[in-house]
A = this chain, B = another copy of it.
Amino acid sequence: MSLKYVSRLRPLALGRSRLYSSLPPTNRAFLASPVEGETVTINGWVRSVRKSKNVAFADISDGTVGEPVALVMNPDLAKSLLTGACIEATGQVKASTGKQAFEIEANAIKVLGPATKEYPLQKKFHTKEFLRTIPEYRWKTSTGATVMRYRSSAISKISNYFESQDFTQVSSPIITASDCEGGGEVFQISGGKDGAEFFGPNRPAYLSVSSQLHLEVFTGALSRVWNLAPAFRAESSDTNRHLSEFWMIEAEMAFATELDQVMTVAENMIRSAVTPLLDEANSVIARDLLATKKYEDKEQKLRDRWNMLAGSKEPWKRITYTEAVDILQGLYRENRKVFGKVRPPKWGEGLASVHEKYLAGEYFNAPVFITDYPTSQKPFYMLGNDVVDPERQTVSCFDLIVPEIGELIGGSMRESSHDKLVQYMTNRDMNPEDLQWYLKLREHGAFPHGGFGMGFERFIAFVTGQENIRDVIGFPRWAGSCVC
């Protein structure tokens, strides 16, 4: 990054030359290969300062890596250093006797942006609730920055996985005319002088709740597609796993004829973003994430979680909804008082969140695909299973559940028959006219396909060991809260 080159513009047009330089090296680059004796300049924010009579120490971080750069200096130089200040420091790299292998013996410090003692992130414990009140500073904490770096890394690994499998990344629309899932929990938009009719008279527009229907169109052209896009729900659920604005990774694949194929893609996608963490020696982000857990038992808990997801090559457990209900009813019969006052599941009803968490948690202690839910529990577009028992009709679908979080991914095979879809919509009091474009896709060249969607923040929260998904998205929005 220290390449400098000189412009060779046509002198006619310019009459001057400039020095072209790139950015100064990051702390991450410096820490990756410090050279003893070399004079270096680093930039960053002061995380902490310790001063004694003869020497001062400061930890500097620029947020590109968890480990801070250790400065040692004459106390005079440290005079104006306060936690939170932004500085440029120059000095010689020395072997250190402290926690870190190297430190910089600083001989020049430039304060680029001072801080005062009112800087809210003094070196002490801050609750997540407090951090959420300072949106402009919260990501400066080492946990916050590390979570964001993992989020970035996960996108990268998942992109690579999909690319290796010939998936095309597409961009489905955010503004949509299709209030597909119904239910009224959608945001409506208006703009310009025409307000709610910006897109035409009687053409209300909504924020997308899922990219799936549009992804199916792309699938009909590109076979395998995926998407990382924001999704929106105008719901008032105030829980640690709901947001009004969240990101989803969704994938659709043509020529999948069995649900197992789709589940395997979902599983491999997650593995692609977790497996690298198992190799702590070579994964900076794994070490950074573990360092956010101050205590050894919490550190081990995080490691265990990664191992649970990716430690074994065994495919994840796959059980049917009916089997899940049987297991749970069996537990009730055995009189295990693990579910408090939650009543036992009944075939045909949804599984309670505590039931899902128990299955993935105490019962299997592993991620579990639960497949083949009752038709009545699922949306119109899912492929129906062959009817064995007319009282127990099911669709070819799955929920992936994991301990503590519950549902992480939902997916299914999609119905590819135009006429059946019309029937399914009619059965559900939906108007097929509203989704003509979606139905038309089946008029010529209908194709077997399936897909899934994963709430990206739930995934990041699970892998980074954060309890609330509000703490893994930059500027969380929920009912009553949109602060900047």
Residues of A within 8 A of B (CB): 1, 5, 7-10, 13-15, 18-24, 26, 28-29, 43-46, 62-64, 84-86, 88, 112-116, 118-120, 135-137, 139-140, 144-145, 148-149, 151-152, 155-156, 159, 163, 165-166, 168-178, 184-192, 194, 198-200, 203, 205, 207, 214, 217-218, 220-224, 229-230, 232, 234-236, 244-245, 247, 253-256, 258, 260-261, 264-265, 314-315, 317-319, 323, 327, 364, 416, 437-438, 440-448, 473-475, 477, 479-484
The smallest beta-carbon distance between A218 and chain B, in angstroms, is 6
**Chain B residues with CB below 8 A from A159, complex form:** 155-156, 159
Chain B residue, CB-CB nearest to A418: B113
If A115-B445, A223-B63, A441-B136 touch, does A187 touch B177 (CB 8 Å cutoff)?
no
Smallest Cβ-Cβ distance to A476: which chain B residue = B173
Partner of A323, one of B14, B189, B315: B14
CB distance from A166 to the nearest CB of B (A): 4
B217 adjacent to A29 (CB under 8 Å): no
A–B Cβ pairs within 8 angstroms, 11 of them: A21-B261, A45-B220, A64-B222, A86-B447, A136-B437, A148-B222, A156-B163, A172-B474, A176-B484, A190-B190, A214-B474
Residues in B with CB closer than 8 Å to A446 are 86, 112-114
**CA gap between A12 and B85 in the complex, in Å:** 60
User: Given known contacts A171-B247, A447-B112, is B477 in contact with A234 (CB within 8 Å)?
Assistant: no
- Which of B63, B244, B445 is in CB contact (< 8 Å) with A221? B63
Which residue on chain B has the smallest CB distance to residue A27?
B223
Name the one of B136, B155, B416, B444 contacting A85, with C-beta atoms under 8 angstroms. Answer: B444
Q: Is the CB of A318 within 8 A of B9?
A: yes
Cβ B187 vs Cβ A169 within 8 A = no
Judging by beta carbons under 8 Å apart, are A190 and B192 in contact?
Answer: no
Bound Cα distance from A194 to B317, whole angstroms: 43
Q: How far is the CA of A159 from the CA of B443 in the complex (A)?
A: 37
Partner of A112, one of B10, B112, B214, B448: B448
Closest B residue, CB atoms, query A8: B314
CB distance from A449 to the nearest CB of B (A): 10
CB pair A113–B187 under 8 Å, yes or no, is: no
A210 to chain B, nearest CB (A): 14
Q: Is the CB of A86 within 8 A of B482?
A: no
> Could you tell me if A145 and B221 are in contact, using CB atoms closer than 8 angstroms?
yes
A149 to chain B, nearest CB (A): 5
